[in-house]
């Protein structure tokens, strides 16, 4: 049984590499990116700067939230909260230059079920994605963990026609990557790709600010810093830019130096990083530069 599996995985790798050859040259040469988060602000926080850079190059970017966010507030809940978060996400999408889909699964109750796996397979196929980015399955929040598992579970199935047969299978398998996180167990995040988002950081913060119920209400409340939120709406975004600035870790700094050269890397104030998931196509450095043209300075 093991031998059969081994030769099957060899065949799979060969097939995936054939997929990849077609992959970076398909359509009009424009890469299609789908970022998948658990809540209607997750992609924004972890990949928003990169999304803006892609959108500015004319590439198509979609954010998907696997839950409708109907639990994330201290005074609102249910349909009223889901509606508010939907509207905030659509405003954020405009500011990022992306489209935003929200799946109608309850916040805080996500399970890695077949039903949700099929929803995700459908989204990736409909978007004809070249790049899929999602959380790693190690995280403090069960919805984040299970979103990681669900996307991993979709990573091969998107190319299998007999699964979700009503939505045509992808003819090539995308590259799957993980968003950056700080979790150390079972293994720390590895920044295979690091993107300089300094020039679009202000725009990213402006887009994040569209999630009023989150960045100025719920997250400060649950994080015990509600008193810090400026009452003056004119200075709130400056506060947000400082509060949410992610320090560049030594590992991300090394990755930036590898891709951009030491001098360019030292100029970077804000970055987003991604780790290649083992379950999709495994791009080499040249292929990664085609997928992330902003890596070429
Ligand atoms: Zn979240």
Predicted confidence (pLDDT) per residue in 101-159, tens digit: 999 999 999 999 999 999 999 999 999 999 999 999 999 999 999 999 999 999 999 99
Per the CB < 8 A criterion, the answer to whether 60 and 32 are in contact is yes
Cα(256) to ligand 1 centroid in Å equals 26
Domain ranges of the chain: 2-195+273-295
Cα(44) to ligand 1 centroid in Å equals 10
Cα(144) to ligand 1 centroid in Å equals 6
Q: Per residue of the chain (297 residues), give pLDDT as tens.
A: 333 333 444 444 444 444 444 444 455 778 999 999 999 999 999 999 999 999 999 999 999 999 999 999 999 999 999 999 999 999 999 999 999 999 999 999 999 999 999 999 999 999 999 999 999 999 999 999 999 999 999 999 999 999 999 999 999 899 999 999 999 999 999 999 999 999 999 999 999 999 999 999 999 999 999 999 999 988 999 999 999 999 999 999 999 999 999 999 999 999 999 999 999 999 999 999 999 999 987
Cα(88) to ligand 1 centroid in Å equals 15
Cα(65) to ligand 1 centroid in Å equals 9
Cβ-based neighbours of 131, under 8 Å, separated by 6 or more: 31, 32, 33, 34, 174, 175, 177, 291
pLDDT at 27: 59
Cα(42) to ligand 1 centroid in Å equals 5
Cα(38) to ligand 1 centroid in Å equals 5
Give, in order, the Cα–Cα distances in Å from 178 to each of 28, 115, 152, 203.
26, 22, 10, 23
Full 3-state SS string of the chain? CHHHHHHHHHHHHHHHHHHHHHHCCCCCCCCEEEEEECCCCHHHHHHHHHHHHHHHCCCEEEEEECCCCCCCCCCCCHHHHHHHHHHHHHHHHHHHCCEEEECCCCCCCCCCCHHHHHHHHHHHHHHCCCEEEECCCCCCCHHHHHHHHHHHHHHHHCCCCCCCCCCCCCCCCCEEEEECCCCCCCCCCCCCEEEECHHHHHHHHHHHCCCHHHHHHHHHHHCCCHHHCCCCHHHHHHHHHHHCCCCCCHHHHHHHHHHHCHHHHHCCCCEEEEEECCCCCCCCHHHHHHHCHHHCC
Cα(279) to ligand 1 centroid in Å equals 23
Per the CB < 8 A criterion, the answer to whether 25 and 172 are in contact is no
Tokens of 232: 């003056």
pLDDT at 18: 40
Torsion of CA 44, 80, 238, 257, to 10 degrees: -10
Does the domain at 2-195+273-295 match CATH 3.90.1150.10? Answer given as no
Cα(85) to ligand 1 centroid in Å equals 13
Cα(179) to ligand 1 centroid in Å equals 12
Cβ-based neighbours of 125, under 8 Å, separated by 6 or more: 158, 164, 167, 168, 169, 170
């Amino acid at each position: 049984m093991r031998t059969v599996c081994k030769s099957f995985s060899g065949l799979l790798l060969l097939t995936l590499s054939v997929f990849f050859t077609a992959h970076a040259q398909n359509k009009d040469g424009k890469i299609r990116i789908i970022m998948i988060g658990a809540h209607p602000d997750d992609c924004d926080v972890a990949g928003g700067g990169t999304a803006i850079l892609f959108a500015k190059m004319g590439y198509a970017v979609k954010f998907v939230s696997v839950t409708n966010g109907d639990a994330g507030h201290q005074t609102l809940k249910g349909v009223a909260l889901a509606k508010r978060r939907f509207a905030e996400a659509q405003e954020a999408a405009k500011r990022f230059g992306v489209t935003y889909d929200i799946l109608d699964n309850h916040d805080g109750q996500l399970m890695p079920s077949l039903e949700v796996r099929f929803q995700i397979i459908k989204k990736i196929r409909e978007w004809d994605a070249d790049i899929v980015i999602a959380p790693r399955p190690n995280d403090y929040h069960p919805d984040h963990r299970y979103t990681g598992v669900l996307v991993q579970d979709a990573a091969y199935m998107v190319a299998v026609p007999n699964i979700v047969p009503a939505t045509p299978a992808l003819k090539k398998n995308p590259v799957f990557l993980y968003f950056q996180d700080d979790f150390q167990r079972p293994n720390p995040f590895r920044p295979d790709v690091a993107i300089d988002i300094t020039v679009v950081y202000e725009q990213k913060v402006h887009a994040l600010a569209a999630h009023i119920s989150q960045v100025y209400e719920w997250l400060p409340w649950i994080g015990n810093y509600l008193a810090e939120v400026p009452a003056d709406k004119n200075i709130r975004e400056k506060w947000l830019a400082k509060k949410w600035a992610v320090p560049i870790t030594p590992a991300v700094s090394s990755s930036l130096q590898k891709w951009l050269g030491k001098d360019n890397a030292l100029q970077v104030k804000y970055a987003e990083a991604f780790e290649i998931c083992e379950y999709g196509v495994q791009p080499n450095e040249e292929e990664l530069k085609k997928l992330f043209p902003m890596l070429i300075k």
